[in-house]
Structure 1
């Protein structure tokens, strides 16, 4: 025993200068970059997909009323990550975390009450929890509370406050909020009407890939409502939403292709998009008239392409075009961009 102590003491003496240098280096690093953030082993394991390891690491902290650990456990049970999905158990952990001030837990618990998932359905309780999370600064909760105020369900109707909350969520780059706030600006709901600003926010949501925003923004550009008229821009956004499978966009894109508005006329492409919209139950006599003089061969090819869309029909694959042939018109892929 004494020998071990002596050996340990000697080791400490030998390494003391190294410890001093390391400590001094850490002090200098902290003064430049700030203090180091302690490693969260439970969250790290969760991020890497080691859910049972994360659960084991989080439990001791959760028992000490660590809200973040409680929320992590709730997420594991809510989504069935490495364990059997158990909404009721998730709700219990979310409740504990919410009691300890975790805004994400309040929001997720509200969703459970909203849907009656693991707890009895209780819309009033859900609304109260959404308000709690919103007051704590959680952006999606602000959006939900704004919607409740607009609808006047389980919250006092208040368009002014709803518009203010919606703007906060929109400025935090939540696409649904950007779209709805833009619509409120266009309609003058709870805020002075401003078509130009409304178009701006709807455009931001379109850039983030929200299909409903892409369709409305395309229409705004087509009509020049609050912005300069831009037919090519309208084509771009209708094409993006059409390529995502939206029937309304497919129908409108087909019209522009058939009429040659903002894009080179292409009746075969128009026939394909019309067929895709029809497949979803959307028929349009005005589009039918535009395609009234289409060549039978082009009509057949367009409808065949629709049957195999988004893949290429086998007949066209077999008769592949030369390498220098022009690429057939397809909807552009619109990447979300930051404003």
Structure 2
């Protein structure tokens, strides 16, 4: 049995106006792709090594000495204590440290952190106007993350009126400084053709920049470009390599497409076992397309030993999410009553556990 590839078309553009990220849906039916991770106002610090306990001193004959363990001090002076506090959820500490850093040295990254905390009500009361002010100061100081965050606020009209022209300039500057998120979102604007004139080649160039930097959403989008020949020459093998990279980064839509390519041997050597494993992984993340394709594999018995109860369980789960399949409905009507009851019970349990 050949698994049909879901049709990937460039149908809609969705820009999330949160200060941290934006994302585009490229493939209907819409997969439940988790939103991209929030943008980080400062570079990720190296892990802070634990302070070494000094060797115990020799005990005098008269009385034992007490070994005093010094307070931990980072060996690396570049360890970012502000971002470290942010990562651990110590938002008030991050706010205080960032404020002091701004006062002491005018650090643009600390300004971006203050904008992030204000925009997301972390450790302080939410204040979009104040957040925009901090992002503006950070952007003026040359911080690419501050530029991107301010661009997203300008697009969404938060902390001030909508200003698409300023947003595009900020995003372009951030992308030029190497921000994968800015390059990806700027590509979406060129693809959409509303804020900017539609330019598929420019969109592909920007997606390539973000993809090369490891942005999984960009890798998935660029894979779709290569599969369809949009803005680039059609190249199925390049498309599959990008799908593989994005799936390794846990992009669920990419996992489904890559699994289908593996199962059918399209642009890559055929590997049904690996395909089924990926479909199962994506199905467990509640992707209806993966659930439907996994159901087809299990019911047909191809790719791995057949399992009618498990297969029809996934069919019913996918159907609940709007991904029906008349062929599987017909096959299920011929199922033994006891097996049908087991499949229905398993589906109810899964849907109820979500």
Structure-1-length-normalised TM-score = 0.75
Note if contact 1:199-1:220 (Cα within 8 Å) is conserved in structure 2. yes
Alpha-carbon spacing, 1:273–1:48, altered in 2? closer, same or farther (3 Å): closer
CA–CA distance in structure 1, aligned partners of residues 101 and 248 of structure 2:
41
Using the alignment, how far apart are the partners of 2:81 and 2:301 within structure 1?
59
Distance change in 2, residues 1:42/1:173 (3 Å): closer
Output the CA distance in 1 between the equivalents of 2:317 and 2:79: 52
Match of 1:100 in 2: 141
Aligned length: 278
What is the aligned-residue RMSD (CA, Å)?
2.2
Matched residue, 2:77: 37
**Matched position secondary structure for 1:226:** coil
Hey, what's the Cα distance between the residues in 1 that align with 2:84 and 2:250? Answer: 30
Q: Unpaired segments of 5 or more residues in structure 2?
A: 1-74
Look at both structures and tell me which one has the larger radius of gyration over its CA atoms.
Answer: 1
Contact 1:255-1:290 at 8 Å conserved across structures: no
Q: Distance in 1 between matches of 2:319 and 2:78?
A: 57
Q: What per-residue deviation string (whole Å, max 9, x for no partner) do you get for residues 116-139 of structure 1?
A: 233223333322221121011111
- Asked if the contact 1:170–1:177 (Cα under 8 Å) also holds between the matched residues in 2, the reply is yes
Which residue in the other structure is 1:289 paired with? 330
CA distance in 2, matches of 1:78, 1:236: 40
Q: Write the distance in 1 (CA, Å) between the matches of 2:325 and 2:160.
A: 46
2:35 corresponding residue in structure 1: none
Structure-2 separation of matches of 1:252 and 1:41:
47
Matched residue of 1:309: which SS?
A: helix
Gaps in structure 1 of 5+ consecutive residues: 1-34, 313-339
**Hey, what's the Cα distance between the residues in 1 that align with 2:264 and 2:200?**
28
Q: Distance in 1 between matches of 2:87 and 2:261?
A: 41
Equivalence for 2:90: 50
Deviation at 1:107, TM superposition (A): 0.7
Q: Decide which moves more: 133-142 or 235-244.
A: 235-244
**Contact between 2:256 and 2:290, CA under 8 Å: does it hold in 1?**
yes
Aligned to 2:31: none
Report how far residue 294 of structure 1 moved: 1.4
Residue 245 of structure 2 corresponds to 204
Q: Which has the higher helix share?
A: 1
Match of residue 83 from structure 1: 124
In the TM superposition, 1:306-321 aligns within 5 A as 306-309=347-350
- Identify if the C-alpha distance between structure 1 residues 58 and 233 changes in structure 2 by more than 3 Å, giving closer, same or farther: closer
| Cα distance between partner residues in 2 of 1:310 and 1:283 | 15
TM-superposed deviation, 1:82: 1.4
**Is the Cα–Cα contact under 8 Å of residues 95 and 123 in structure 2 kept in the other structure?**
no
Q: CA contact under 8 A between 2:312 and 2:343: conserved in structure 1?
A: yes
Deviation for aligned residue 1:37? 3.3
Q: Indicate yes or no: 2:343 matched with 1:302.
A: yes
| Cα-to-partner distance string for 1:19-46 (whole Å, 9 max, x where unaligned) | xxxxxxxxxxxxxxxx963565544444
Find the aligned partners of 2:180 and 2:145 in 1 and give their Cα distance: 10
Q: Distance in 2 between matches of 1:59 and 1:292?
A: 66
